[in-house]
C-alpha cells in the first residue's frame, strides 16, 4: 500500500463519556499514516472540548462541525466527513466504539493480497450492557455461520434480503470511490448503514475478516437500543428488496413482496389494541364505537 493515507471518519453526538476511548484506540494503531476526521453533529455536552484537546496534541486528528453547530443527523454528518477525507480508503468508527491496535494493519494485509477488493468488514467483540451483550452475541452466533459458509471474497447482495450482515459501521473499511453514487436517504434513518451496504453490494464483492477487530459498545443510549415503528420497518424492507431487484429477478422475491405489502394493508396489534387498515391506524375502541352506531 506504499504507506497510503487512511481516513478514519467518526460521527460524534453527545458521547463525551466515550469519545476519549475511541480516539485513544486510533492513536494506538500500529499503522501510523492515518487521519481521524471527527464530525460533531451539534453535541450539547462537552464532546467538542474533549475532541479539541486531542486535535491540539495530534495534528492527524481533525474536528469539523455543521454551520452554526446544527444537528443534521447521521447521513449529512457522514457526507461531510467523506467530503473532508483526504485518503482513498475510509474507515468508519462510531464515537462510542473502539478498534484493536492492529485494525488498519490487518485490513491493509488483505488489500495487498486482494488488490481488487474495495470493501472489508470484520467480526466484533460486544461489551458494555450485559443484557444487551448476551442478546447480540446470541444473534451473531446464528448469523455468523451464514457469513463464513462461503470463501472470500463473495457477493452478499442476496443475503441483505434476510438481515444486515454488517454488525456496525465500526467494522467497515472501504474504497472512497464506491460511495460516489450512493443514496443516503434511507427510509429508516436509524439503520442508514443497512441501506448503504445493500447499495454497495450491487456492484462489489465483500471481504470478511473472521477476527474481532472492533469493540462494539452496548449501552442504553446507543442507536441499536432504540426500537423503530413497525410500519416504517416494512417500508424499509421494501426499499431493500427494490435495491436487490435491480440485479435479481423480482419474481424470485414475489412471495416476500406479497408478504410485506399485506402488512401495509392489514395488521392487528393486540398489545397496542390497534388495527392497521390501508395505511391508517384505528384503535379497538374506535372500531367498537363505529360498530355500535351501525347497529
**Alpha-carbon distance 61 to 10, whole Å?**
11
pTM: 0.86
**Which candidate, 51, 35, 41, 40, places its Cα nearest to that of 89?**
35
CB 122 within 8 A of CB 171: yes
**Alpha-carbon distance 76 to 14, whole Å?**
17
Q: Which residues contact residue 256 at a Cβ distance below 8 angstroms, ignoring those fewer than 6 apart?
A: 161, 241
**So what's the pLDDT on residue 82?**
98
Place of cell 462461503: 150
**Alpha-carbon distance 279 to 222, whole Å?**
30
**So what's the pLDDT on residue 291?**
44
Q: Which architecture, in CATH terms, is 6-225?
A: Alpha-Beta Complex (3.90)
Q: What are phi and psi of 112, to 5 degrees?
A: -65, -35
- Per DSSP, what are the bridge partners of residue 122? 209
Query: 3-class SS at 7?
Result: strand
**CATH 3.90.550.10 intervals, the chain:** 6-225
Query: Burial, 245: exposed, middle or buried (Cβ in 10 Å; 0-12, 13-18, 19+)?
Result: middle
**So what's the pLDDT on residue 231?**
78
**Alpha-carbon distance 261 to 110, whole Å?**
42
Q: Please, what are the averages of pLDDT over each run of 10 residues along the chain (295 residues)?
A: 90 96 98 98 97 98 96 97 98 98 98 97 91 79 81 94 92 97 95 97 96 92 63 91 95 87 65 60 58 40
Q: What are phi and psi of 258, to 5 degrees?
A: -60, -45
Amino acid at each position: 500500500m506504499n504507506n497510503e493515507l487512511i481516513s478514519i471518519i467518526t460521527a460524534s453526538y453527545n458521547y463525551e463519556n466515550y469519545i476519549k476511548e475511541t480516539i485513544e484506540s486510533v492513536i494506538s494503531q500500529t499503522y501510523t499514516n492515518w487521519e481521524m476526521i471527527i464530525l460533531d453533529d451539534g453535541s450539547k455536552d462537552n464532546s467538542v472540548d474533549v475532541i479539541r484537546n486531542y486535535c491540539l496534541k495530534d495534528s492527524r486528528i481533525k474536528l469539523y462541525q455543521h454551520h452554526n453547530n446544527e444537528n443534521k443527523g447521521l447521513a449529512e454528518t457522514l457526507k461531510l466527513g467523506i467530503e473532508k477525507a483526504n485518503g482513498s480508503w475510509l474507515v468508519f468508527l462510531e464515537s462510542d466504539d473502539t478498534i484493536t491496535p492492529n485494525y488498519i494493519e490487518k485490513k491493509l494485509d488483505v488489500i495487498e493480497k486482494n488488490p481488487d477488493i474495495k470493501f472489508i468488514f470484520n467480526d466484533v467483540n460486544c461489551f458494555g450492557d450485559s443484557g444487551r451483550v448476551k442478546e447480540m452475541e446470541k444473534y451473531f452466533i446464528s448469523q455468523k455461520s451464514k457469513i463464513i459458509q462461503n470463501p472470500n471474497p463473495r457477493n452478499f447482495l442476496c443475503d441483505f434480503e434476510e438481515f444486515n450482515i454488517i454488525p456496525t459501521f465500526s467494522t467497515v473499511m472501504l474504497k472512497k470511490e464506491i460511495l460516489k453514487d450512493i443514496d443516503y436517504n434511507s427510509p429508516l434513518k436509524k439503520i442508514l448503514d443497512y441501506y448503504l451496504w445493500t447499495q454497495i453490494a450491487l456492484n462489489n464483492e465483500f471481504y470478511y475478516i473472521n477476527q474481532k477487530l472492533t469493540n462494539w459498545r452496548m449501552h442504553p443510549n446507543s442507536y441499536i437500543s432504540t426500537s423503530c415503528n413497525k410500519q416504517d420497518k416494512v417500508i424499509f424492507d421494501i426499499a431493500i428488496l427494490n435495491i436487490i431487484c435491480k440485479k435479481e429477478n423480482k419474481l424470485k422475491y414475489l412471495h416476500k413482496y406479497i408478504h410485506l405489502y399485506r402488512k401495509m394493508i392489514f395488521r392487528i396489534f393486540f398489545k397496542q389494541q390497534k388495527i392497521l387498515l390501508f395505511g391508517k391506524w384505528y384503535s379497538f375502541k374506535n372500531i367498537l364505537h363505529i360498530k355500535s352506531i351501525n347497529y
